[in-house]
Structure 1
């Protein structure tokens, strides 16, 4: 299979994942679908794992992966000695950037799932926001009175972030391996992974 074609396929797959991760993180700023003040939002939401890690940082690998398909397989601006190898080597670097970004989102999501959401408690007209599940007692998950449905809201969205960021890490790792083959093989005619037909 063509190295550049494989990279383009990975890039196209990463686009919806990045968009969905960004949307999931934005929705987490409205626990249970309710707007709350900044200081009462769960700490892990404010770390922007889905927006920065799986969203913004993923833009750079996507652009590089999509551009590999249009690269001249056996030359760069007419220079046959550099084009393909350098382009594929660059894709390895940006794949690493993608792995770091998705890894950040993955870790933040895992911590958020373990810690649980920040909930509002009212005792004798005194309002207090705290993490009732922070002590590891997950039997208390039904004891989060407000905002409504915050527990399933956080659990669902952070679970989706965990799965999607994990998928992004796997895809970027695949491209890193693909890029390594492209870097070592050089031109298409001598590279089995590029089909030997002169096309990227």
Structure 2
């Protein structure tokens, strides 16, 4: 498969991941599946890791990756491979954007999981009752959060999904960065063993 075809495949794979990351972030605004005022929601949710990092920012790499397959590579300055090389080089830049966006979401999710959710405690105050992820290996701590109901598994599940999906996005964008490098160096589908022999992206 040629480098452009590989890029399109990666772009298509990123679409459901971006949508699911945004959806997971939106669900986090409803702790325990219920509506709460803004000051009762964990701070990390308001940083929009899934919506901005793994969602909106991922749109640009997706569009670029999918567009490489249809690049007509008309060339420039009499060099037929020039247009293709430039397109593949551009994909490396947008792959880096994708890595930064998904990395932002990944780090936020890891911090949120370690910190734990904001909830109503036995002292009748909204705070973060957990420290340094101590609740992750000991479910007996979960009872420290009295409200919203099931807030701990709710946050833990959604942030875990964000962590996994944003990690997958980083890997896919890194693959395209390598693929784009081959495309930049090779110029067309006949070289480096990364592509087919028909010469079309």
- TM class by shorter-chain length? over 0.9
- Structure 1: which 5+ runs fail to align? none
Q: CA deviation at 1:135?
A: 5.3
TM-score norm. by structure 2 comes to 0.92
Q: Which residue of 2 aligns with 1:187?
A: 188
For 1:133-183, what per-residue CA distance to the aligned partner results, in whole angstroms no more than 9, with x for missing partners? 135432412321100110000000000000000000000000000000000
Q: Size of the alignment, in residue pairs?
A: 197
Q: Please state how far the C-alpha of 1:122 moved relative to its aligned partner.
A: 5.6
Q: Counterpart in 2 of 1:163?
A: 164
Aligned to 1:41: 41
Q: Is the 8 A contact 1:74 1:198 kept in 2?
A: no
Give the deviation of 1:120 after TM superposition: 1.1
Q: What aligned pairs does 1:1-200 form with structure 2 within 5 A after superposition?
A: 1-73=1-73, 75=75, 80-121=80-121, 123=123, 127-134=124-131, 136-138=133-135, 139=138, 140-200=141-201
Please tell me whether the aligned partners of residues 76 and 84 of structure 1 are also in contact (alpha carbons under 8 angstroms). no
Q: Is the 8 A contact 2:18 2:55 kept in 1?
A: yes
Question: Take 1:117 and 1:57, find their aligned partners in 2: how far apart are those partners?
Answer: 26
Contact 2:114/2:132 (<8 A) preserved: no
Q: How far has the Cα of 1:74 moved from its partner?
A: 5.9
User: Could you give the per-residue CA deviations for residues 88-121 of structure 1, whole angstroms, max 9, x where no partner exists?
Assistant: 0000000000000000000000001101000013
In the TM superposition, structure 1's runs of 4+ consecutive aligned residues that sit over 6 Å from their partners are none
TM-score (norm 1): 0.92
Gap runs ≥5 in structure 2:
none
